[in-house]
């Protein structure tokens, strides 16, 4: 029983070493740097290879419509693990001019990290704003069910059907 405990301890320490050996990166970004007044846009705060809670700046002159909307990703390629978490806020500015999103901070393992400030130009002139690409204009939904028609040894087959949602 003791060798098994030692093995678990070695694996745990190795895994912890892998996580702590990676660089923590933080960033703030926006979906567009020039927007029309009263038009929603996204502000994204991303942390890579770390865990923590964001201390966000005030969004002066902007209304928060939605958020935080959180997405997380864990990727392991050739034994190298990368974690990424993004908190997204959908906001809109009510007044024209330059709006500064100040630095956001996050504490990871006792060390404080901060993002660079982001500047957004809000205008009421549509000719200054590039059109938004509508690549993903359709929303999708789907269902998955076991495939009882195909049975293979030591495998499970499933059928995924995707359907576009119509926008009205």
Quote the Cα angle for 50-55-59, to 5°: 130
Q: What is the pTM of this model?
A: 0.64
User: Is residue 56 situated within a structural domain?
Assistant: yes
User: Is residue 6 situated within a structural domain?
Assistant: no
User: Is residue 156 situated within a structural domain?
Assistant: no
User: Residues 40-90: pLDDT tens digits?
Assistant: 999 999 999 998 889 999 888 889 998 789 988 988 888 888 999 999 999
User: Is residue 127 situated within a structural domain?
Assistant: yes
Q: What CATH number did the domain enclosing 62 receive?
A: 2.60.40.10
Mean pLDDT (the chain, rounded): 78
For residue 3, which phi and psi values (nearest 5 degrees)? -60, -35
Distance set, CA 167 to CA 26, 66, 140 (Å) = 36, 21, 11
């Amino acid at each position: 029983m003791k060798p098994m405990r030692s093995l678990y301890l070695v694996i745990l320490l190795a895994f912890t070493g892998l996580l702590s050996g990676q660089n923590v990166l933080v960033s703030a970004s926006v979906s567009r740097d020039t927007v029309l007044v009263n038009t929603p846009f996204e502000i994204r705060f991303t942390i890579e290879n770390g865990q923590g809670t964001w201390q966000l700046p005030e969004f002066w002159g902007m209304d928060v419509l939605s958020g935080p909307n959180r997405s997380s990703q864990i990727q392991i390629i050739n034994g190298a693990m990368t974690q990424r978490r993004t908190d997204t806020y959908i906001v809109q500015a009510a007044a024209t001019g330059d709006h500064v999103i100040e630095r956001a901070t996050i504490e990871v393992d006792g060390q404080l990290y901060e993002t660079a400030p982001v500047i957004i130009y809000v205008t009421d002139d549509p000719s200054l704003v590039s059109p938004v690409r509508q690549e993903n204009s359709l929303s999708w939904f789907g269902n998955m069910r076991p495939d009882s028609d195909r049975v293979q040894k030591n495998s499970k087959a499933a059928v995924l059907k995707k359907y576009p949602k119509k926008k009205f």
